[in-house]
Amino acid sequence: MHLLLELELVSVRLINNRIYLDYNATSPLAKSVYDWFTKGDLPFGNPSSIHSSGKKSKRLINESTDYLKAFFNLKHFDIFFHSGATEGINDIFKGFAFKCLSEKKKFHIVCLATDHSCIINQKEHIELMGGEFHVLEISKSGEVNTEEVIKYINELSGEILINCTLVNNETGVIWPLDEIVNLKAKTNCLVHVDAVQMIGRLPLPYVLSKDIDFYTFSGHKFGAMKGVGFTFVKDGLDNWTSLIRGGGQQMAMRSGTENVHGIYSLKLALVEFEESFNYESLLNSKQFLENSLVERFGEKIRIISKDAKFRNANTIYLIIDGAKTDILITACDMAGIDLSSGSACSSGAIKPSRVLMSMGYSEACAKSSIRLSLPYQYDLEQIKIVSSKLIEIFSRFIK
Ligand code: PLP
């Protein structure tokens, strides 16, 4: 019997006829978003226009804004929408740099070697603007030593902005928010939290600390549209200025006509997510899959960051010694399973993971790694089927 048909009969949740295990790269559209679009009664007016059609669009933006502030308990923060975390984080870093430049202040940006490329690759621009860009090393477990970071920051002089990634997109390792809040208290530098991989990976409720200066999210990681994201900015913050200048939309924090449909999809997706997410079920599924792989293959596979104190509920990052990432991905692909090797790369080419190598793994290890990132709706029955399929495929490569 054809694999997909067989799986359908035993009710694995298929997405477009695929077993989709690449949620850290992106998620499929939430049903509520899909239904809204296909119903067809979409607003079209420019939200800045004062006629009824414009007001209808504006109302949807306001609804999303209010919902997001309430959902994250950040009522007193400002929020601006953008095309996703890459843009949002560039706005924050370069907006900070512009502000320091205009005030002729010395400035630093600090991040960790395991941070996303949209952070690491700003080094050149920040240095061009006269700032210092610091990339701190990280241990093989992928865990951040917060006290060491605090010590490092306190030895710098000038204006400082640090990026703290709440959940790493490749390893699934968490930098706990209370440690980040402690860092803020002990350094008083500006703190940006990259919260892109939070939703669907950590338990609800998502109550965020008011002590942090910025939080950035991308909608496509939790069922909203691709190309829309949002950043919370602490109310009254005066050591940051907006990067994108134009018509002054969004309180001039990000000019340009708003992506009304994308912005409303954020609310729709989060409402659906909140109603359906079962953290325990997801965590049990991940643990079952991980234990099954360890039981079957023992030391022939290595689970990255397995002993880290805080890991998320959906990510398993594996090194399969002797196997090649591209061949493993192709074998899974042919069996109807989508997974990847780490961060999604724009070229579609598979490069050895920069993140793994920054944690001290060799290039050979990085070329033998694959990442499974589970949907937030999985339960034990479904993962049992997926697990046996993966074991069958991996067995061909592990002798
Ligand atoms: N930060 C993290 C942790 C991510 O995982 C990603 C995307 O994978 C980004 C930032 C960038 O998000 P986007 O590609 O939506 O701009």
HEC letters along 228-246: CEEEEEECCCCCCCCCCCC
User: Atom of ligand 1 at shortest distance to CA of 168?
Assistant: 3
Residue of 203, 256, 224, 212 lying closest to 84 (CA atoms): 224
- Ligand 1 test: best mutation among 197, 215, 341, 346, most atoms within 8 Å of CB? 197
3-state secondary structure of 23: coil
CA-nearest residue, atom 5 of ligand 1: 169
C-beta neighbour count of 25 within 10 angstroms: 19
User: Atom of ligand 1 at shortest distance to CA of 115?
Assistant: 3
For residue 110, give the amino acid letter. V
Record the tokens describing residue 14, joined without a space.
Answer: 């298929």
DSSP character string of 120-159: HTTHHHHHHTT-EEEEE---TT----HHHHHHHHHT--SE
Residue carrying structure tokens 């059609």: 53
Residue of 388, 350, 390 lying closest to 369 (CA atoms): 350
132-136 vs 159-165, strand pairing mode = unpaired
User: Atom of ligand 1 at shortest distance to CA of 220?
Assistant: 15
Q: Whole-angstrom Cα distance, residue 274 to residue 277?
A: 6
Spacing, Cα 6 to ligand 1 middle (Å): 34
Whole-Å CA distances, 236 to 213, 233, 240, 251: 10, 9, 10, 12
Give residues with Cβ within 8 angstroms of 381, minimum separation 6: 11
Spacing, Cα 388 to ligand 1 middle (Å): 31
User: Atom of ligand 1 at shortest distance to CA of 227?
Assistant: 15
User: Atom of ligand 1 at shortest distance to CA of 87?
Assistant: 16
Q: In sequence order, what E strands does the chain have?
A: 19-20, 77-82, 107-112, 132-136, 159-165, 190-194, 214-218, 229-234, 301-303, 315-320, 337-338, 369-373
SS (H, E, C) 67-103: HHHHHCCCCCEEEEEECCHHHHHHHHHHHHHHHHHHC
Spacing, Cα 56 to ligand 1 middle (Å): 30
User: What secondary structure letter does DSSP report for 362?
Assistant: -
- Ligand 1 test: best mutation among 199, 215, 218, most atoms within 8 Å of CB? 218
C-beta neighbour count of 261 within 10 angstroms: 18
Spacing, Cα 95 to ligand 1 middle (Å): 19
Residue of 27, 32, 10, 31 lying closest to 375 (CA atoms): 27
Helices (H) and strands (E) in the chain, counts: 14, 12
| Predicted pLDDT at 1 | 45
Give me the residues of the chain with pLDDT under 50, please: 1-2, 5-9
Residues lining ligand 1, Cβ inside 6 A: 84-86, 116, 118, 165, 169, 194, 196-197, 218, 220
Spacing, Cα 316 to ligand 1 middle (Å): 18
Helix axes 380-395, 279-297, angle to 10 degrees: 30
Q: Whole-angstrom Cα distance, residue 60 to residue 260?
A: 7
Spacing, Cα 196 to ligand 1 middle (Å): 6
The strand order across the sheet containing 190-194 reads: 77-82, 229-234, 214-218, 190-194, 159-165, 107-112, 132-136
- Ligand 1 test: best mutation among 24, 26, 93, 116, most atoms within 8 Å of CB? 116
Spacing, Cα 343 to ligand 1 middle (Å): 9
User: Atom of ligand 1 at shortest distance to CA of 221?
Assistant: 15
pLDDT digit string (tens) for 343-379? 555 556 678 899 999 999 999 999 999 999 999 888 8
| Predicted pLDDT at 149 | 98
Query: pTM of the prediction?
Result: 0.95
Give residues with Cβ within 8 angstroms of 365, minimum separation 6: 302, 319, 321, 356
Spacing, Cα 190 to ligand 1 middle (Å): 20
Spacing, Cα 380 to ligand 1 middle (Å): 28
| Predicted pLDDT at 5 | 45
Q: Whole-angstrom Cα distance, residue 386 to residue 181?
A: 38
Spacing, Cα 333 to ligand 1 middle (Å): 23
